[in-house]
Amino acid sequence: MTYTVVTWGTGNVGKYAIRAIVNHPELELIGHIVSSADKAGKDVAELAELEQATGVISSEDIDAVLALKPDCVCYTAHSETRLMEAAADQARCLEKGINVVASSLFMLQYPDSPDVAFIAEPIKKACETGGATCFNNGIDPGFANDMMPLIFTGLSEYWSSVRMQEIINYSTYVQENTIREVMGFGYPVDHPCMLFQPGMLSLGWGGSVRSVAAGLGVEVEKVYEVHERLPLEQDVENAMGVFRAGTTGAMRFEVRAVVDGRDAIVLEHVTRLTDDIAPHWPQGKGYKVIIEGEPKMTIGMDMEDKYGDHAVAGVIQTATCIVNAIPAVVQQKPGMVAALDLPKVTGKGLYRPVTDN
C-alpha cells in the first residue's frame, strides 16, 4: 500500500525528510509547504538537493496543499521560537483528518508529560476533532532515548538505573541561531540563554525520561535538571563563524527522573564545538544507553553520513525516524502517540545494493 505525504519545511531536517520520502517504496510525495517566497514555485528536488526533479512544486498556499488530502503531513518547520505557532500548524492538519509526523515539537515525544500539557492539549483536541493521529519524535529526543532503552532493558534480569547519553560535536550542525541564541555557544558561560532558563531542559527532554519510565512501569516522583558550561581556551572558527576564546565552547546537562527517592532514569547531553575541550567529560560520539543491573549493559550507536559527519548523520536519523514511522502512524487509532505506542518500525523495503543519494 502507498501512503500519500505532504512535507512542511525545508530546513536542516526537512530536506532529509523529503529525500527519505522520495526513496521510500510505500510513500508518495504529493505536495510541499514552504514559508518564504524565494522557495515557492520551485521543484522540491532543488530545495532538497536531489539529482532528479520530482514534479512536486513547493507552495506557500497551505490550504491549497492540504486540500490535496494526503494521508500524512511530515512537519519539520522551525519551532524553537514559535512553539504555539508550530502546534497550531499541526492542529490545522489534524482537524482536517490528516495524520501528522513531526520532529519540530520534540518535547511532545511523550505527549502525556505534565511539562508539555499546554502544547499537547490543543493538539489532542485537534486529533479528536479530525479523527487523526499525531507523532512527534526524532533521534534525540526520540529513538536514542525512548526505544533504545526500552528494547535493551528487555534483556535484563533486573535493572536499577538507565542513563541515555548523547555526545556530539556540534561544529558541523550549521544552525547558527540554535547554536548561539538558544544554546548559548559563543556567549559567556553565565549568559542567560534560552536552553538554561529554569524548566527549559525539563520541557525539552523531560518527555525522554518520562517515556522510559512509562514503558518500564515505574512511577516518577519528580524530574529535575542540572547543567555545566565551559569556555573555549582559544578562538574556534567553523561554518557558523568565529567563537571567541573565553566564551562557551562546551556544555553538559542532565535531566533526572527520581524513582523511589533516587535518580533512576537520566538523560545526559555532552555537547562540544571542538573535540579537545572538556577532556574529563565523557568522550566519543553518538549515543549510548547505560543500564545498571544484571547484567550491566552499555549500548552504543555511532553514526556518520557518507562524508563521515556524525552530526549530519544525526539530522538524517531525526528525519528517517519519523518518515519510516508514517505507515504505522497512519494505521494507528486517532490521538497523540509516543514511540512506545507504535509497533516496531524497521527498514523493511529500504534495501539498496549501493550507497548513494
The helix (run of H) or strand (run of E) holding residue 266 is strand 262-272
Cell of 73: 503531513
CB distance 309 to 172 below 8 Å: yes
Q: Which residues make Cβ contacts (< 8 Å) with residue 356, sequence separation at least 6? A: none
- In Å, how far from its chain's centre is CA 198? 21
The residues spanned by each domain of the chain are: 3-137+325-341, 143-307
pTM, entire model: 0.91
Coil, helix or strand at residue 63: helix
Residue range 177-203, pLDDT digits in tens = 889 999 999 999 999 999 999 999 999
Give the pLDDT band of residue 174 (cuts 50, 70, 90): confident
| Alpha-carbon torsion angle 14, 73, 46, 286, nearest 10 | 20
**Does CATH number 3.40.190.10 belong to domain 3-137+325-341?**
no
Instruction: Please list the residues that pair with 266 across neighbouring strands.
Output: 163, 256
- Grid look-up 512527534 returns 136
pLDDT value at residue 173: 81
* CATH C-level class of 143-307: alpha beta
Is the pLDDT assigned to residue 356 strictly greater than 80? Answer: no
Residue range 241-300, pLDDT digits in tens = 999 999 999 999 999 999 999 999 999 999 999 999 999 999 988 999 999 999 999 999
- Round the average pLDDT of the chain to a whole number and report it: 95
CA distances (Å), origin 318, targets 15, 16, 24, 37, 324 = 11, 9, 16, 26, 11
Q: Which residues make Cβ contacts (< 8 Å) with residue 164, sequence separation at least 6? A: 144, 145, 148, 149, 208, 212, 266, 267, 268, 287, 288, 289
Average pLDDT of span 48-68: 96
pLDDT value at residue 357: 52
